[in-house]
Amino acid sequence: MKKYLVIGNPIEHSLSPLIHNYWMKKYGLADSIYEKKKVEQKGLESIVKQVRNDELKGVNVTVPFKKEIIPFLDRLDNVALSTQSVNTLCKIKDEVWGYNTDAEGFSHSLSGKSIDYSGKNIFILGAGGVTSSIIHNLIFTANKIFITNRTKKKVEQLKKFTDLAGKEIEIIDWGKTPKACDLVINTTSVGLIKDENLDLDFKDYENNKGILFYDLIYNPEETNFLKKARLRGNKTMNGKMMFLHQARIAFQIWTGIDPEINDEVIKLLNR
């Protein structure tokens, strides 16, 4: 049996097993199974050891361990190295590699909709574990990136990462918004619990269908952040396609199969 896991804490909400088991069945990998497991920080080393011993064939890593897992790994791919964020483990020859498929997942979610943000202004809310993956692709092509986070220190850490790319980001005080940007992305966890609200004033953005509000959260399907944007007259998008693409790329790393994201898979997330 080839065993796969998604690890995190909390982990109950994860829909990764649903997607990966669907693809494993569809592509005839009858000897494979994908489960979720809640782990503590002290359990991370043992998970990596199980990948090294072939007890686990592949692992996805989610909040809050995407950075914490790094010291236990033998190698990182380039994106994981620059973002310092790992969401996929796989053994290659004798080494356990950490990959970041979130960054590519995010860019596929936009390009899949033929949305191109080169030369545009982007406002990012949050500076948590996934934010560097979001910035990773945008940083080279965007005109300007504004970023805000409740805890300012964390944005300053992110700034080091963007400075390496030779691009400056502008830090906005929490609670304030910059002049209308073309893309506004919520990378905070606010909204995961129904009715949670980000109290920001987007008056400048009213009745502008050219502006896209993108929430990385996909469950609930429409957070207050997206609902308010829709009522304000902006375009909206949730994190469903990014989630599916990061899963697709991880599946390909493990199995060599590039699984199809069709309506049936997308429907699995409608709950």
Task: Decide if 66 is catalytic.
Answer: yes
Q: Least distance (Å) from ligand ATR to the CB of residue 131?
A: 7
Positive or negative, the CA dihedral 199, 202, 207, 212 is negative
- Quick check: 63 binds ligand ATR (CB under 6 A)? yes
Residues 6+ apart with CB under 8 A from 54: 91
Strand pairing class (212-215; 235-237): parallel
Q: Least distance (Å) from ligand ATR to the CB of residue 189?
A: 4
C-alpha–C-alpha distance, residues 8 and 14, integer Å? 9
Chain-centroid distance of CA 58 in Å reads: 18
Task: Name the residue nearer to ligand ATR (CB basis): 61 or 269.
Answer: 61
CB atoms under 10 Å from CB of 219, counted, come to: 18
Q: What angle, rounded to 10 degrees, do the helices at 102-111 and 240-255 form?
A: 120
Candidate list 150, 227, 228, 232; residue touching ligand ATR; CB under 6 A: 150
Task: Name the residue nearer to ligand ATR (CB basis): 32 or 83.
Answer: 83
Instruction: Name the 3-class secondary structure at 116.
Output: coil
Candidate list 190, 212, 217, 250; residue touching ligand ATR; CB under 6 A: 190
Q: What angle, rounded to 10 degrees, do the helices at 152-164 and 131-141 form?
A: 40
C-alpha–C-alpha distance, residues 181 and 210, integer Å? 10
Candidate list 11, 127, 172, 242; residue touching ligand ATR; CB under 6 A: 127
Give, as ranges, the residues between 65 and 104 that touch ligand ATR (CB under 6 A). Answer: none
- Quick check: 126 binds ligand ATR (CB under 6 A)? yes
Mask 159-188, x = binds ligand ATR (CB under 6 A)? -----------------------------x
C-alpha–C-alpha distance, residues 206 and 105, integer Å? 29
- Quick check: 64 binds ligand ATR (CB under 6 A)? yes
Binding segment for ligand ATR among 19-27, 79-87, 149-157, 236-244 (CB under 6 A)?
A: 149-157
Binding segment for ligand ATR among 125-133, 139-147, 201-209, 211-219 (CB under 6 A)?
A: 125-133
Q: Least distance (Å) from ligand ATR to the CB of residue 169?
A: 15
- Which stretches of the chain bind ligand ATR, using CB under 6 A? 63-64, 126-130, 149-151, 154, 188-190
